[in-house]
């Protein structure tokens, strides 16, 4: 297992120094899901949620979250994201699958930004539908793939 880089020699938390690392093109893909009552999903599909277009708002929220990850996760570096895309797949009887693809040319990875995008998109769906469905469950958030950087290409099997 790799050494934990967010701790110094004395065991104290630190932000990793990436000053000497080369900039490379990096991409991360993350996925997650939110499960709900079939009627809630049908109302989302038909655009009948009083707060508006749930998936459009969740898409914007996910992109905004990716850009703000360093404000939420203490040891993340602020990154100049060059691309962020969220997509949704409606799965019957009551599930929305969420995928984020986030890109950067930089000195450190973009995985946390992709994971944060998926998480906040799911939370936004929850927020917009909670008045009619308190049984919703957010889960299975994971890294699918990452490209670039010293550790190279990773793809979840």
Phi-psi region of 121 (alpha: psi -120 to 50; beta: other; left: phi over 0): alpha
Predicted pLDDT of residue 14: 79
Predicted pLDDT of residue 3: 65
How does pLDDT run across 55-108, given as a tens digit for each residue?
Answer: 999 999 999 999 999 999 999 999 999 999 999 999 978 999 999 999 999 999
Among residues of the chain, what percentage have pLDDT more than 70?
97
Q: State how far the Cα of 154 lies from the Cα of 146, in Å rounded to an integer.
A: 5
Do residues 51 and 43 make contact, with C-beta atoms less than 8 angstroms apart? no
Nearest Cα to 67, choosing from 19, 120, 22?
A: 120
Confidence category of residue 13, pLDDT binned at 50, 70, 90: confident
Predicted pLDDT of residue 44: 96
Q: State how far the Cα of 131 lies from the Cα of 15, in Å rounded to an integer.
A: 40
How does pLDDT run across 111-139, given as a tens digit for each residue?
Answer: 999 999 999 999 999 999 999 999 999 99
Type and span of the H or E element at 40: helix 38-46
β-strand partners of 27 = 103, 147
Predicted pLDDT of residue 96: 98
Enter the pTM of the model.
0.92
Residues known to be catalytic = 127
Type and span of the H or E element at 120: helix 111-129
């Amino acid at each position: 297992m790799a050494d934990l880089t967010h701790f110094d020699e004395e065991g104290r938390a630190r932000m990793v120094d990436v000053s000497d690392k080369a900039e490379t093109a990096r991409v991360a893909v993350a996925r997650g899901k939110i499960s709900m009552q079939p009627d809630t999903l049908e109302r989302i599909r038909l655009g009948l949620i009083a707060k508006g277009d749930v998936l459009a708002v969740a898409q914007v929220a996910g992109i905004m979250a990716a850009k703000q990850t360093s404000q939420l996760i203490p040891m993340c570096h602020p990154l100049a994201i060059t691309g962020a895309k969220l997509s949704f797949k409606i799965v019957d009887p009551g599930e929305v699958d969420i995928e984020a693809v986030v890109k950067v040319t930089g000195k450190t990875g973009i995985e946390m930004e992709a994971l944060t995008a998926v998480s906040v998109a799911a939370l936004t769906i929850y927020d917009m539908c909670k008045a009619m469905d308190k049984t919703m469950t957010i889960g299975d958030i994971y890294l699918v793939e990452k490209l670039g950087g010293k550790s190279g290409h990773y793809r979840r099997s």
